[in-house]
Structure 1
Amino acid sequence: MATNLDIDLRCPICQEVYQDPVLLRCGHSFCRGCLRRHMDSVEETATCPCCRDGFAEDSLYPNWQLANVIAGLRDLGAGPSMEPGYPHCAKHKRELELFCQDDKQLICYICALAHNHRNHNCVPIDDAYMECKDKLKCSITMLQNEVTDRMAMHVSQGGKISHLLDMTESLRNDIAKQFAAMHNFLDNRERAIIKELADEESRVLTQLEENMLTISEDCNMIEAIIQDISEIINSEDCHQLLREYVSLKKRSEVIYNVVLNTPVFNLGVFYSPLQYGTWKQMKDIIKTVPAALSFDPRTANPKLRVSNFGQMLQYCKAQSQRPDTTERFTKHLSVFASTALSSGRHYWEVNVSEGADWILGVAAGSVNRKVCAVTSPDNGYWTIGHRSGGQYWAYDHKKVAIYPDINVEMIGVYLDYEKGQLSFYDAEDMSHIHTFNHHFTDKLYPYFSISPNAECANPSLQLLH
């Protein structure tokens, strides 16, 4: 019906609803003003803009019937057929029977012919109501899935909090046990470390609790949207639903992925050998020595010389004649310690040459010693290294820069096999450098590598104990 009215009630010249329509002998109607302007624009006999049939100025007849139809349509909404209180067009006083899908609003048939909605996709209210209702139902399903995902995230964050609390509680017990052997002078140090742990726990716990609060607030917002949509759908009020459809749909679509904090548990410093670290600060009270390791000459590259009862490792430019056994490194300038580690806690210290290139850590006993491989966990190595120019690196799954406070001359290495922790320290003051976490299963060996550079032509390493 709207399409037929749009064709029949529009002037062929201005394409608007007829204003003062006139009829020609050929049967075509036009706005009087439009036809006058057409006649003024031609110098010869005027012709019908539709069929080109000529006509004279005195042959214009008012089309009263068409004018009455247009007037009747405009006034139809104010007649007795309109139910009191029924929604109607504020402009044309006509019942709202169409929904403009382009502008997303209720309109009457006269609005559909007007310039604002001409050529728009206007459909009956019932059709629009069912379509929009189905879309909002789909929105509810989507939003319910979002709530489910966020609840799972909420549970996950709770699990991380429990894990954090378990780790920090375990650390408290370990710290208390190590400090039990110390007396009044050590109490201040113990309290300082406990405070550092509490600060770390508080920092990470705060971030995790913020994550939980963010998720809860997000869920509340989504559930509020669901409730608003459900209420308007359950009310079966098609006009209210269509009036608020755009707003509700927009609210249901503006759901962003939750951005959560990713806290890093910086707990490596608390797994350190606390008694020995404290002894470094109070050498007259605690007497603790690192493990008595020695370099294993059977594994040393032919350009490396082991001396001083296995405590000194030095680079030699001239390669010595040594048997090429399966145990020996031939591509890396490397060596193992003679002691295998497969359980327990172990600590050792290494003095490094100033400016030398070196790599320290542990390696699995199964590593291939005949190839030149990156000393990363993917190849069975857990190491840090130094290169000329003051560059320090951790050879994790990818090479990452680390930044000790000063140039390190003595490295402390601490391995807790069962906990899967390997930590490195500046042995002068036990400041933490880097920590690896890994579930160790292979037999491990302390690993050492040195190589010359422009700053240090004859690098060396020395084990201290």
Structure 2
Amino acid sequence: MATNLDIDLRCPICLEVYQDPVLLRCGHNFCRGCMQRHVDSAEETPMCPCCRDGFEEDSLYPNWQLSNIIAGLRDLGTGPSMEPGNLHCAKHKKELELFCKDDKQPICYICALAHNHRNHNCVPIDDAYMECKGVLNHSITMLQKEVTDRMAMHVSQGEKISRLLDNVESLREDIAGQFEAMRNFLNEKQRTIIQRIDDEESRVLRQLEENMLQISRDCDTMEEVIHDIGEIVDLGDKYQLLREYSSLKQRSESIYDPVLNKPIFNMDELHGPLQYGAWKQMKNIIRLVPAALRFDPRTANPKLRVSNLGQRLQYCEVQPQRPDTPERFTNHLSVFASTALSSGRYYWEVNVSEGADWILGVAAGSVNKKVCAVTSPDNGYWTIGHRSGGQYWAYDNERVVINPDLNVEMIGVYLDYEKGQLSFYDAEDMSHIHTFNHHFTDKLYPYFSVSPNVECANPSLELSHCDHGSGLPLSGGSDRAPEVPW
């Protein structure tokens, strides 16, 4: 009850015992001086600091009854201390000279010896004030740094949106340009592709804008905490600071790093042989000739036979003895193509035996052909493969299964060396299978591997060439990189 009386007899503005109390129509009391300063600082109709109810300046009524009660309690010595800032223990009427760190509250010496605080870590009130003030000042510094970091993140998200919009617009123009030559036949296809881009753009933009909104909310929350802590610290009232310390510290520590969306505008499948895919459907309108590759017999494993002018590769258990040269694969059933790739854009197609085990892709020219290594990027290989039972897989950072419903007879491989993109397609309809992204620096060679299994004892691979055209790689001059958006 003493605690409630101590609260009831204090002005909500200055938190001291009422001095010349005045009463508003809403029923709240304040010191006359505090309320006069509040009215003078109001730019519009002043409002009650407690309930925000508006009032006129001439509606401040002296509360004589409350003044008499305070005077009577002062005479009895049972009310709160009349000296501002000189609080006393409600239970023992002693000055609060200690601060209990365990319970985080000011106490008197008798409280420190009592059962509730015995063996607690109690320090002088002034020492506690300086320590807690320092902690809260540190919280302000840390939160200000967090605000700065959030603002930088906010700017970064804006830059990502700008880059996204630029990339999307560039992609739209590129696709529109390639379809110009086939406009009459491909209008419906183009609308479908643009809609997919718009949907992806909307999805990514929506998540990036959600990130910006979350960051803004975090900043508002932290600014509010900073403001509240700053008010308490600037007030200079050590007792008020210590009373609010636990709550303010908890609020300052309850702000965690934002969990932002990490959208990816995946355009890999849109950067492939688009016109060649259209040619598969409209061969009389556009013709895109795959690169004229040949298997290099000098690199072929002794159990692999190269025939048909370097276009066919077949596993043969019995083969004539071949010299073990540095160029030859001896542990992998593998072979390189004879063409080295170090710049430009290339596309080639490979027919695969039904049920055979095979691996296709590119490999660095520096790979060790004498050891049996995993065909992964860490070892200089970028490949996809097939194993008996219908499983298709790709080696990126680790081996992953891709599209369990896939069933292909011809694989299309597209390489953009400068862009660092290697994409695989089902060459029958140019549907996208898998894409690697890597900064290539070594000279690359098309890589092929084939091996037998219970379903296919003599598997083979065959490079597919068209009967017309030069068969040159898609590079140099004004040639544009083909793209596939399916």
Other-structure match for 1:3: none
Cα deviation, 1:8-30, whole Å, max 9, x if unaligned, reads xxxxxxxxxxxxxxxxxxxxxxx
What per-residue deviation string (whole Å, max 9, x for no partner) do you get for residues 272-307 of structure 1? Answer: 211111222344543333222222222211111112
Q: Structure 1 residue 88: deviation in Å? A: 4.2
Give 1:433 shift.
1.0
Report the equivalent of 1:393.
393
What residue in structure 2 maps to residue 66 of structure 1?
Answer: none
Larger mean Cα displacement after TM superposition, 88-97 or 342-351: 88-97
Structure 2 counterpart of 1:121: 121
User: What CA deviation, in whole Å up to 9, does each residue of 1:169-199 have, x standing for no partner?
Assistant: 3322321222122121211111211221222
Structure 2 CA distance for partners of 1:243 and 1:308, relative to 1, 3 Å: same
Which residue is equivalent to 1:351? 351
> What do the CA deviations read for 1:384-424 (whole angstroms, capped 9, x no partner)?
11112222221123222222532222111111122111101
Code of the aligned partner of 1:347:
Y
Conserved? CA contact 2:422–2:437, under 8 Å: yes
For 1:66-465, list aligned pairs within 5 A: 78=77, 82-83=81-82, 87-403=87-403, 405-465=405-465
AA of the residue aligned to 1:427: A
Q: Which letter does structure 2 place at the counterpart of 1:271?
A: H
3-state SS in 2 of match to 1:394 = strand
Contact 1:415 1:422 in 2 (8 A): yes
What amino acid is aligned across from residue 227 of structure 2 in structure 1?
Answer: Q
- Name the % identity: 77
Q: By how many angstroms is 1:108 displaced?
A: 3.8
Give the Cα–Cα distance (whole angstroms) in 2 for the partners of residues 79 and 296 of structure 1: 104
Structure 2: 5+ residue runs without aligned partners? 1-73, 466-486
Following TM superposition, by how much is the alpha carbon of 1:440 offset from its aligned partner in structure 2, in angstroms?
1.9
Q: Distance in 2 between matches of 1:275 and 1:118?
A: 84
Q: Secondary structure at the match of 2:219?
A: helix
Instruction: Give the letter aligned to residue 375 of structure 2.
Output: T
Higher mean alpha-carbon deviation, 430-439 vs 387-396, is at 387-396
CA contact (8 A) 1:77 1:93 kept: no
The Cα RMSD (Å) is 2.5
Q: How far apart are the structure 2 equivalents of 1:298 and 1:77?
A: 111
Between 175-184 and 318-327, report the one with greater CA deviation. 318-327
Which residue of 2 is the match for residue 26 of structure 1? none
Q: TM-score, normalised to structure 2's length? A: 0.74
Deviation at 1:450, TM superposition (A): 0.5
- Residue 134 of structure 1, CA deviation: 1.1
Q: Mark the CA change 1:360 to 1:246 in structure 2 (over 3 Å): closer, same or farther.
A: same
Distance 2:97 2:76 in 1: 11
Code of the residue aligned with 2:259 in structure 1: it is: V
SS of match in other structure, 2:181: coil
Structure 1 gap segments, 5+ residues each: 1-74
Conserved? CA contact 2:300–2:336, under 8 Å: yes
SS at match of 1:363: strand
| Cα displacement (A) at 1:260 | 2.0
1:330 positional shift: 1.8
Report the CA distance between 1:247 and its aligned residue. Answer: 0.2
What is the distance in 1 between the residues matched to 2:211 and 2:80?
59
- Rounded Cα–Cα distance in structure 2 between residues aligned with 1:205 and 1:280: 34
**Does the CA-based 8 Å contact 1:77-1:92 persist in structure 2?**
no
What is the CA-CA distance between 1:214 and the residue it aligns to? 2.2
Q: What SS class does the counterpart of residue 183 from structure 1 fall into?
A: helix
Q: Does the 8 Å CA contact 2:80/2:88 hold for their aligned counterparts?
A: no
| Larger relative contact order, structure 1 or 2 (CA cutoff 8 Å, min sep 6) | 2
Report the CA distance between 1:92 and its aligned residue: 4.7
Which residue identity lines up with residue 270 of structure 2 in the other structure? F
Q: Which amino acid aligns with 1:369?
A: K
Q: Using the alignment, how far apart are the partners of 1:361 and 1:143 within structure 2?
A: 51
> How far apart, in 2, do the equivalents of 1:299 and 1:162 lie?
48
Q: AA paired with 2:252? A: S
Q: Judging changes above 3 Å, is the alpha-carbon distance between structure 1 residues 116 and 301 closer, same or farther for their aligned structure 2 residues?
A: same
The aligned counterpart of 2:69 is none
Quote how far apart the aligned CAs of 1:229 are: 1.0
SS in 2 for 1:145: helix
Contact 1:78–1:94 (8 Å) recurs in 2:
no
**1:364/1:444 contact within 8 Å kept:** yes
Displacement after TM superposition at 1:309 (Å): 2.3
SS of the equivalent of 1:463 reads strand
Q: Is the 8 A contact 2:98 2:108 kept in 1?
A: yes
Aligned with 1:129: secondary structure? Answer: helix
Shift of 1:112: 3.7
TM superposition shift of 1:87? 4.0
8 A contact 1:404–1:433 mirrored in 2: no
Match of 2:316, as an amino acid? Answer: C
1:408-461 C-alpha deviation (Å, 9 max, x unpaired): 221111111221111011112211111111122222221111111122211111
Please tell me the residue identity of whatever aligns with 1:172. R
Hey, what's the Cα distance between the residues in 1 that align with 2:370 and 2:83? 96
Post-superposition shift, 1:114?
Answer: 4.0
- Deviation digits for residues 313-343 of structure 1, max 9, x if unmatched? 1100113322333322222111122222222
How far apart in 1 are the matches of 2:357 and 2:173?
Answer: 39
Contact 2:302–2:322 (8 Å) recurs in 1: yes
Cα distance in 2 for residues equivalent to 1:289 and 1:404 = 30
Bigger Rg, structure 1 or 2:
1
Contact between 1:98 and 1:122, CA under 8 Å: does it hold in 2?
Answer: yes
Amino acid at match of 2:386: H
* Equivalent residues of 1:82, 1:95 under 8 A apart: no
1:34-73 equivalences in 2 (<5 Å): none
More displaced, 140-149 or 383-392?
A: 140-149
Q: In 1, are the aligned partners of 2:392 and 2:406 still within 8 Å (CA)?
A: no
TM-score by length of 1: 0.77
SS at 1:373 equivalent: coil
Q: Is the 8 A contact 1:77 1:88 kept in 2?
A: no
How far apart in 1 are the matches of 2:170 and 2:380?
A: 28
Q: How many residues align?
A: 391
